[in-house]
Amino acid sequence: MDIIDLRARSIEMLADDYAKSRQQRTRPISILAAIRAIRTYAPNELSDRELTDIIAVSAVRHGHVIDFDGSAAEG
């Protein structure tokens, strides 16, 4: 496994943790807030679009609605 794969897996784990931490499934997960949180804890070279995809997959996996409220969703 190369270094890029490890970074992406770490980001996926952070996205999972973020989704799990959102207890209220009736409120959508903000993609913009999730990107900010992930970049705060783990600065990385992934584009906003790549992070959006990772966060969205994780949110859906954990039964959340998603609010595509910024960044890649608008571009």
Tokens representing 9 are 């897996």
Could you give the CA distance from residue 69 to residue 10 in angstroms, rounded to a whole number?
24
* pLDDT, one tens digit for every residue, the chain (75 residues): 454 555 666 899 999 999 999 877 778 999 999 999 999 988 888 899 999 999 999 999 999 999 999 755 444
Residue entry with tokens 């913009």:
32
Angle at 74 between CA 71 and CA 75, to 5 degrees: 85
CB 56 within 8 A of CB 34: no
Which pLDDT score is estimated for 73?
Answer: 46
How many other C-beta atoms lie within 10 A of the C-beta of residue 64? 21
